[in-house]
Structure 1
């Protein structure tokens, strides 16, 4: 066993011991609390993501991660990967070669199998093809986020298609976050620097109050270079610039509806541009073995617009009602320039490729809640409808120039450009759902059944470009429907401790690019064909857990088991076409899988447990606290009888916090990750990540009543490590693996200042 393995094992053992101790403390504390029910029923933290309306976290029969604005600022978050750095079981993929940070994965399920919302507006879908085209999902900048709630496990009973693995719900800042009750104007300015990317950032937030109306305008700019690689390997040179704007208008008491009637208008827009010298691909076999130069110029733009109204009709059919209209648009353009040396019989060539992906959606939703007392039964009903109509458009174009003759051709590798990999496709999604949280008066039991019905429709439109490139493939329509049930049960063991269990179904309608992929390359004698018989992917998730809280602690321990059916195998080889002799590829429902594991999250306030506190109540441990988070999971591909590669190795985080009453604080965060040894056994051995342990240090100082300086020194020990999600399914000898090594020791700093009058 290596020294590093010993450290990881030691930290893992400490997790088990700490978890046992915390739960024992919780039980003792809960027993004491039982003598005073009023003391035990203190104000509870509420979450939105579990029931689509605010519910006390203590009553939630699910595992929920909450990240608030204070935490986001304290760890100097600059992207969604930083956001979940200390949340085991939740990861974010990063492509270090060119395309950068992508999307969330929860308990081994990621990408478009996770529902992601920003202020209730769905985040765009992703699409990639080949090594030079990848449109990821576009999120709001972390400087605009006030709160993130992450629901782990299937959740289609409330969120419909794509909630097969979980839900990420982001809320952006409101004007009142910058305004005190007596202020009519508030502002916050922030500037930051990050050494690992030589990156600078600037943020300006402004809020105004005029009468009851509140307004907010925010702007973020980031300018980064390529991230360092620990160990000395030179990364691909890169320059990245990002600008985002957030605007809000909040009208409380709108019209004659009184205080319960609020209208909120939100507009968020942004653009990024990344210019990369893609040296990592030069000379890599087989496709780029003759490539001598490559550059990428990638641009993305997005817009999210929403109008919502919250009402309190106090009617027989609803106590509260919220309706929302939204528009979402994204545009990705990626340009690639490549130079190839001569390789007989081909001359030296220059290639230019472009990839364009546009995703647009228009939607509406209505959600209502109603409390009903029916005899001895108390009901809390949540019901509503969701509707969204969208269109996706994709195109690849380019040319090839013979550097000896100067001749230009629009044929690259046998593909005649421009072309579409799928036809212009319009999608319609509609869902109706209901959930009822019910309990007997004075009972400790809570039962929450739920059901959602969804309709899903794809309508492709053949244009001349698609027909010309796919003469043998006719796009097909798709109509699908799904029922997603849910049943959650919780039992209040004591006023401060509850046990819960849940069954929830998830599903994912067949993506448009899987139904109608259009790819025909005569040079390689293969063709992809549509599949009108694709079915929705489904998951059945089971979870049990224990949640406890006290004056000094809070902890959640849960176990989960999820079985997945009809996973879509993309573009699998289905044999030869007897008519043409071409090799055919088609997406089909084949894979069955399961994932099971354990999650732990706990926090301990040391001062509240200090037995040596002075008679006055003061404690030498005042301000000290511990956070302990851990996740272990195992996945199996039941179709191939192999390990499921998407599951991350075990991770443990132990965090020590200190907050001084004089306005400063510090944190030391340890992260231990086990080796990934359990991978699919195929003809080509796959790369396996080693175990590792990192230490990060953070500090902040309040400057007067308005200023704050935040500091971070990450990877204190200069550890050289690779995150599994960045390299999974890569061959052991893949020359791109070393580029996934994380940066070494790095310094981050930001200074913020608030104003108000």
Structure 2
């Protein structure tokens, strides 16, 4: 499989091969204007469905442009694509994006995004409506999860690598920005009020959902939007027909937004997202203490925007936000280790993370000496307050300590159009942090540069090269964690002298776009990128101190080894987060699509490798190489779309924690749009009931699963 991936990406440098190996498409191409120069008006996305690579994004630079024109490894997932495959988890949403994977536990709706082999502790900056999601609980799973249901998502913008200088501290892996649903997702521009109701049902634990959305435009002065979502999932079965216990959950969520337009160009906006998840599990391994979990994940934003085409030097955005994620756990059945400490059913354990932050930036567009500029200046900051309240044995408080971290940054970025075929982006970002907790404090600061050059020697083909640096401050847990692992027993030591990680990323790529290539009305888009990311002072757990024996009987104290050495035959070492001198990640990505009106074919491919440069050991967070392709056809005057998605994962990562070697998956989908107000979607995932476990996941993935959704809309003009 790895040979196939390498050859496929090598062949993809030719236009002919790219036509054959064409990323997720699923919708017809719309006519979108060519990308603006740095001094022109922002691109306005046309109405109707658009090919993914023609969708407008702002994630890599805060200035609007189409993905295909972005000089970075960027991607977009649209609402149409989410519906087409009936996504029920964020992992479904991002499955076809190159360089991106999602770690999840079947028994917990929380998920963690992995970009180019980096994840955990904020290495990937996850934003929901511009608000950081910094929740983190340490265990055997991901160290940094977030909660968000796909039915709440309007669009996903992704940037791979530490190139998004303007989107906050820490993103040495990349940025994932989720925009939640809004009034434009349910009402056309000429409609004043309306409602959308979606009902969904599925097999193999997919359960039922109901999604109700309403919106109204109050003339040109304001608009309001509301959404209520309920999802109830059941225990699913894997490809071998084994029931995955505790994989059921219940979600209730509400979303409210309003926009005020007090004068031409002025917008005042606010949003409130409230989510509540109820589920039960016994840890990441399925062998720990069994807890009942009650998770609330809320995000609030308040913003102001000024933008007018006739005032090019003033394009201002001001946003403040507050996010809180809290998991209130109650012991149902204590494990033998917890029971030996006197933990009884009903004992409480609560993890919470509160983040308050702001983002202020302005873009000025002007010309000097024949050069077009888009000069963006901004500042941003966030404060994380982590709190663990543990009356259930103390392990939770030890492994996820309470503490506070403050991040502050400022940046300047200039996008310069030098000639019609040459443009550059130069940026500097200043980051600083302070961390406090448990009587320990640390701080630091740094300036990180970025330079990008784009050259278009031929119409429709643009090459770019980038050097960018990124800076990630140590997290509260990495610095302050201190405790004894339950079994086998060993110490986990704090490290207040941790240094921040610094990424140095070299990236080269090519963007290709042609219309009317093989026939009138067709469209071809492709993005290819190669990267080399070296991270100084990379933080990872290492074994420290001498090897010693501990009891192999759960709950037995280590001191007993003095009197009963025959019961103590497990050799272990203490563990500690430390800076290793350097980690290196490198790879290549391909994202392409060809749409001929009557159908589409697409492809997303990823090759990544990573290792500790000191020991030569591979980085465990680097996921296997993967290729995903989608083929679809449209019938009945484009009312009916049917197709398939194929996903192939190679066998470079078979381990004890990942028993599955290489595997292939086949998904089917069909969508029928009776008219603009009534539609139905069907998807069948894992058609051949393949048994597999996605790398880093704790549970085997679902077997054959069918989902159906019916959407009905009412609107008035």
TM-score (norm 2): 0.84
Residue aligning to 2:321 = 326
Residue aligning to 1:472 = none
- For residue 676 of structure 1, the aligned residue among 643, 652, 657 is 652
Deviation at 1:594, TM superposition (A): 0.9
CA distance in 2, matches of 1:693, 1:525: 39
- For residue 245 of structure 2, the aligned residue among 191, 216, 236 is 236
- For residue 588 of structure 1, the aligned residue among 578, 589, 596 is 578
Deviation at 1:390, TM superposition (A): 3.0
Query: Is residue 154–residue 179 contact of structure 2 (8 Å, CA) maintained in 1?
Result: yes
Deviation at 1:53, TM superposition (A): 2.4
- For residue 124 of structure 2, the aligned residue among 73, 97, 114 is 114
Query: Is residue 156–residue 162 contact of structure 1 (8 Å, CA) maintained in 2?
Result: no
2:248 is paired with a residue of what secondary structure? strand
The answer to which of 652-661 and 313-322 deviates more is: 313-322
Query: Is residue 507–residue 537 contact of structure 1 (8 Å, CA) maintained in 2?
Result: yes
Instruction: Give the 3 Å change call, closer, same or farther, for CA 720–186 of structure 1 in structure 2.
Output: same
Instruction: Give the 3 Å change call, closer, same or farther, for CA 478–377 of structure 1 in structure 2.
Output: same
1:533-553 Cα offsets, whole Å, 9 max, x none, are 211012111110111111120
1:633-661 Cα offsets, whole Å, 9 max, x none, are 11122122122222122211121111222
Deviation at 1:191, TM superposition (A): 0.7
Task: State yes or no: 1:305 paired with 2:300.
Answer: yes
**What runs of 5+ residues in structure 2 fail to find an aligned partner?**
21-31, 37-42, 44-53, 516-522, 549-558, 563-571
Residue aligning to 1:735 = none
Residue aligning to 2:421 = 444
Task: State yes or no: 1:623 paired with 2:617.
Answer: no
Instruction: Give the 3 Å change call, closer, same or farther, for CA 83–316 of structure 1 in structure 2.
Output: closer
1:82 is paired with a residue of what secondary structure? helix
Query: Is residue 569–residue 591 contact of structure 1 (8 Å, CA) maintained in 2?
Result: no
Residue aligning to 1:384 = 378
1:550 is paired with a residue of what secondary structure? strand
Deviation at 1:135, TM superposition (A): 7.9
Instruction: Give the 3 Å change call, closer, same or farther, for CA 583–77 of structure 1 in structure 2.
Output: closer
Deviation at 1:243, TM superposition (A): 1.0
CA distance in 2, matches of 1:448, 1:741: 44
2:478 is paired with a residue of what secondary structure? helix
Deviation at 1:125, TM superposition (A): 2.4
Deviation at 1:50, TM superposition (A): 0.9
CA distance in 2, matches of 1:199, 1:643: 39
CA distance in 2, matches of 1:260, 1:348: 63
Deviation at 1:325, TM superposition (A): 1.4
Residue aligning to 1:748 = 707
CA distance in 1, matches of 2:498, 2:606: 34
Residue aligning to 2:568 = none
Residue aligning to 2:470 = 506
1:88-130 Cα offsets, whole Å, 9 max, x none, are 321111223x335421101111122100111111113212146
CA distance in 1, matches of 2:654, 2:281: 34
1:698-743 Cα offsets, whole Å, 9 max, x none, are 001112331111001111222222212326xxxxxxxxxxxx3322
2:440 is paired with a residue of what secondary structure? coil
2:157 is paired with a residue of what secondary structure? strand
Residue aligning to 1:693 = 664
Query: Is residue 156–residue 484 contact of structure 1 (8 Å, CA) maintained in 2?
Result: no
The answer to which of 43-52 and 237-246 deviates more is: 43-52
Task: State yes or no: 1:71 paired with 2:48.
Answer: no
Deviation at 1:330, TM superposition (A): 1.5
Residue aligning to 2:505 = 541
**What runs of 5+ residues in structure 1 fail to find an aligned partner?**
27-37, 283-287, 289-293, 399-411, 463-474, 608-621, 680-684, 728-739
Deviation at 1:156, TM superposition (A): 5.9
TM-score (norm 1): 0.80
Query: Is residue 135–residue 357 contact of structure 1 (8 Å, CA) maintained in 2?
Result: no
- For residue 267 of structure 1, the aligned residue among 269, 272, 286 is 272
Query: Is residue 110–residue 146 contact of structure 2 (8 Å, CA) maintained in 1?
Result: no
CA distance in 2, matches of 1:208, 1:129: 45
1:400-445 Cα offsets, whole Å, 9 max, x none, are xxxxxxxxxxxx5xx6x995656642322111100011132x3421
Residue aligning to 1:710 = 681
Deviation at 1:251, TM superposition (A): 1.2
CA distance in 1, matches of 2:247, 2:547: 43
Query: Is residue 575–residue 585 contact of structure 1 (8 Å, CA) maintained in 2?
Result: no
Task: State yes or no: 1:336 paired with 2:336.
Answer: no
Task: State yes or no: 1:94 paired with 2:104.
Answer: yes
Instruction: Give the 3 Å change call, closer, same or farther, for CA 748–573 of structure 1 in structure 2.
Output: same
1:429 is paired with a residue of what secondary structure? strand
Query: Is residue 41–residue 495 contact of structure 1 (8 Å, CA) maintained in 2?
Result: no
2:708 is paired with a residue of what secondary structure? strand
Residue aligning to 1:202 = 210
- Structure 1 segment 47-66 matched on structure 2, within 5 A: 47-66=57-76
CA distance in 1, matches of 2:280, 2:357: 34
Deviation at 1:572, TM superposition (A): 4.2
Deviation at 1:529, TM superposition (A): 4.7
Residue aligning to 1:35 = none
Query: Is residue 109–residue 147 contact of structure 2 (8 Å, CA) maintained in 1?
Result: no
Residue aligning to 1:564 = 535
Count residues in correspondence: 658
Deviation at 1:57, TM superposition (A): 3.2
Query: Is residue 92–residue 101 contact of structure 1 (8 Å, CA) maintained in 2?
Result: no
Residue aligning to 2:224 = 215
Instruction: Give the 3 Å change call, closer, same or farther, for CA 215–22 of structure 1 in structure 2.
Output: farther
Instruction: Give the 3 Å change call, closer, same or farther, for CA 87–346 of structure 1 in structure 2.
Output: closer
Deviation at 1:187, TM superposition (A): 1.1
CA distance in 2, matches of 1:376, 1:650: 45
CA distance in 2, matches of 1:527, 1:24: 52
1:312 is paired with a residue of what secondary structure? strand
Deviation at 1:668, TM superposition (A): 1.1
Deviation at 1:497, TM superposition (A): 1.3
1:546-579 Cα offsets, whole Å, 9 max, x none, are 11111120111111111112122337424599xx
The answer to which of 713-722 and 213-222 deviates more is: 713-722
Residue aligning to 2:452 = 488
CA distance in 1, matches of 2:617, 2:72: 29
- For residue 430 of structure 1, the aligned residue among 396, 408, 411 is 408
1:684-708 Cα offsets, whole Å, 9 max, x none, are x765531111111100111233111
Deviation at 1:193, TM superposition (A): 1.2
Residue aligning to 1:664 = 640
Give the number of the structure with larger relative contact order, counting CA–CA contacts within 8 Å between residues 6 or more apart. Answer: 2
Task: State yes or no: 1:640 paired with 2:649.
Answer: no
Deviation at 1:352, TM superposition (A): 5.8
Residue aligning to 1:600 = 590
2:697 is paired with a residue of what secondary structure? helix
1:477 is paired with a residue of what secondary structure? strand
Deviation at 1:518, TM superposition (A): 3.2
1:500-546 Cα offsets, whole Å, 9 max, x none, are 11111122101112222232689999655543321101211111011
Instruction: Give the 3 Å change call, closer, same or farther, for CA 313–662 of structure 1 in structure 2.
Output: closer
1:239-282 Cα offsets, whole Å, 9 max, x none, are 31001111011112x1xxx3211111111111101024789745
1:216-244 Cα offsets, whole Å, 9 max, x none, are 00011100112211112232144310011
